[in-house]
Amino acid sequence: MATKQGIHKSRGGLIRSFVTSENGIIKDITISGDFFMFPEEALFIILEQLKGTPANHTALRKNIEETYKKENIQSPGTSPSDFAESIMKALEG
């Protein structure tokens, strides 16, 4: 399984995703970027929750939105859809 990289620029900053997937399912994701998120540690929860998610934009976005609600996340200028977009760019290589 190769790790693929995707880059997406949101209004709040650049999101670089490193994604491994197998049979259309997310195995692992790491993210590097200059965006903001409050609380910061919530990004690790988002990434953990994404493991096992079908590798398509809607499923990714919905999964991230759920964690946003649960963890009361704010990220000015960056939305769950922006993270999904960055991850999809990695998957589409």
Binding site for other proteins (CB under 8 A): 7, 9, 11-13, 16, 30-40, 43, 74, 76-77
State in angstroms the smallest separation of the CB of 43 from other proteins. Answer: 6
Decide whether 37 or 55 has the Cβ nearer to other proteins. 37
Q: How far is it, in rounded angstroms, from Cα 27 to Cα 17?
A: 13
Q: How far is it, in rounded angstroms, from Cα 69 to Cα 90?
A: 25
Decide whether 9 or 54 has the Cβ nearer to other proteins. 9
Decide whether 7 or 45 has the Cβ nearer to other proteins. 7
CB 87 within 8 A of CB 19: yes
